[in-house]
């Protein structure tokens, strides 16, 4: 697991300094101890009730020497550690940094880009080679933000404004995980981080700032290739949601665009189901009249590669599983507890199919 950004690299270098110093101390102390035990053990023929060896009461030069070596070893650890703390605390070039507010919920992450007016869930998309300043908040319990390849964990603490920064060297698709026990689905609170080159990031911003795609009004808007011709390829044409992708990152790129066959009538039916089943009470879909703020913003849900806080790939089957039995997928989740149970929601197979088609059309 190699670091892929300056913060993770700095943390790894501090770890190695500490590790090498610890190994040195272990070998030195252990070596002296082993030597003394072997050299001065009771030998054959010797009585073990012999008179004790001559006793000494300290050796000033040895003691001063040991104190000096201990201080030196601590300084060797302290200097890079303190420099690392400063380096990791202050976002470099704050004017150039992209600010993202991360909010933890039981059990998912909300990512807001205040300067860009974008809100996403469980997928943090960033440009490469640019510092990302993260403001870490939580609306319920303590969570912890962790993308192992890019930066160590920082907690999201109620009533406390924590922050951190990170940066990605190159394009990629990274795993993230809540790293602080936060309730029964803590282990299921995952997310992804996607880093894009500048051009792709700008194209992503352009798509995300728009309202949700509307298939019934504009059935011709089946491909967005005119928006970003780079991503058009033969494989894009034939890909569908249930097909295994070549790589997570390629899969993410494909997911940004409408794929395969779409049935406008089914999508329209799903849009009605979304209202009838009161999904609109908790979710926002900009441009479709849904403005709930309890659950994740779904305006561009179809462009995300995962569902249920990063637990499942966002395929037709998985989304259907999540909608028909949320409690099985992510135990304790609020959609089930405060939605399905209270509203006595019962989705027929048709409802689920229509909802899946509708949600996947939201690019
Ligand atoms: Cu959120 Cu653990």
Predicted local confidence at residue 243, as pLDDT:
55
pLDDT reading at 162 higher than 70:
yes
Average pLDDT over residues 274-289: 91
CA-wise closest residue to 8 among 190, 232, 176: 176
- Closest ligand 1 atom to residue 186 Cα is 2
Range name among 37-46, 155-164, 274-283 with the lowest pLDDT average: 37-46
Ligand 1: centre distance to CA 171 (Å) = 27
Average pLDDT over residues 330-337: 90
Predicted local confidence at residue 216, as pLDDT:
65
pLDDT reading at 224 higher than 90:
no
pLDDT reading at 274 higher than 60:
yes
DSSP, collapsed to helix, strand or coil, labels residue 142 as coil
Q: Which residues contact 64 (CB under 8 A, 6 or more apart)?
A: none
- Closest ligand 1 atom to residue 180 Cα is 2
Ligand 1: centre distance to CA 145 (Å) = 8
Tens digits of per-residue pLDDT, 282-295? 999 998 988 889 99
C-beta of residue 253 within 8 angstroms of C-beta of residue 245: no
* Residue 81 in tokens: 């550690």
pTM: 0.84
CA distance 52 to 55: 8
How far, in Å, are 87, 118, 251, 254, 298 from residue 304 at the CA level? 32, 14, 10, 10, 10
Closest CA to ligand 1's atom 1: 143
Pocket of ligand 1 (CB under 6 A): 104, 107, 143, 178, 180-182, 186, 189
**Alpha-helical regions (H) of 127-233:** 198-209
Tens digits of per-residue pLDDT, 2-60? 999 999 999 999 999 999 999 999 999 999 999 999 988 877 777 666 677 778 888 89
CA distance 173 to 254: 13
C-beta of residue 353 within 8 angstroms of C-beta of residue 269: no
CA distance 24 to 28: 6
CA distance 342 to 282: 13
Predicted local confidence at residue 41, as pLDDT:
83
> Residue 343: pLDDT band by 50, 70, 90 thresholds?
confident
Predicted local confidence at residue 222, as pLDDT:
39
> Residue 245: pLDDT band by 50, 70, 90 thresholds?
low
CA-wise closest residue to 139 among 163, 156, 151, 122: 156
* Residue 51 in tokens: 């008179």
Predicted local confidence at residue 226, as pLDDT:
40
pLDDT reading at 321 higher than 50:
yes
CA distance 290 to 297: 9
């Amino acid at each position: 697991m190699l670091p892929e950004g300056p913060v993770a690299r700095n943390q790894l270098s501090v770890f190695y300094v500490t590790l090498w110093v610890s190994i040195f101390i272990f070998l030195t102390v252990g070596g002296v101890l082993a030597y003394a035990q072997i050299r001065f053990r009771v030998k054959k023929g010797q009585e073990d009730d012999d008179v004790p060896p001559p006793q000494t009461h300290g050796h000033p030069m040895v003691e001063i020497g040991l104190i000096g070596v201990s201080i030196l070893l601590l300084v060797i650890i302290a200097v890079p550690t303190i420099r690392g703390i400063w380096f990791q605390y202050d976002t470099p070039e704050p004017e150039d940094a992209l600010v993202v507010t991360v909010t933890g919920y039981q059990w998912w992450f909300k990512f807001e880009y205040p300067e860009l007016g974008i809100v996403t869930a469980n997928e943090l998309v960033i440009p490469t080679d640019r510092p990302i300043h993260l403001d870490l908040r939580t609306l319920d319990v303590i969570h912890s933000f962790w993308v192992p390849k890019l930066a160590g964990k920082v907690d999201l603490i109620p009533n406390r404004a924590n922050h951190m920064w990170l940066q990605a060297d190159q394009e990629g698709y990274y795993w993230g995980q809540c790293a602080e026990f936060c309730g029964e689905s803590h282990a299921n609170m995952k997310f992804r981080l996607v880093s894009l080159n500048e051009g792709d990031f700008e194209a992503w911003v352009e798509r995300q700032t728009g309202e949700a795609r509307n298939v019934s009004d504009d059935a011709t808007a089946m491909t967005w290739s005119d928006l970003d011709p780079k991503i058009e390829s033969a494989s894009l044409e034939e890909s569908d949601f249930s097909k295994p992708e070549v790589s997570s990152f390629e899969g993410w790129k494909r997911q940004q665009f409408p794929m395969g066959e779409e049935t406008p009538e089914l999508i329209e039916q799903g849009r009605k189901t979304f209202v009838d089943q009161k999904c609109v009470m908790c979710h926002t879909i900009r441009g479709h009249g849904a403005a709930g703020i309890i659950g994740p913003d779904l305006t561009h849900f179809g462009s995300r590669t995962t569902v249920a806080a990063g637990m499942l790939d966002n395929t037709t089957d998985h989304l259907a599983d999540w909608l028909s039995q949320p409690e099985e997928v992510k135990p304790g989740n609020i959609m089930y507890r405060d939605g399905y149970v209270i509203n006595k929601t019962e989705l027929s197979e048709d409802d689920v199919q229509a909802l899946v088609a509708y949600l996947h059309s939201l690019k």
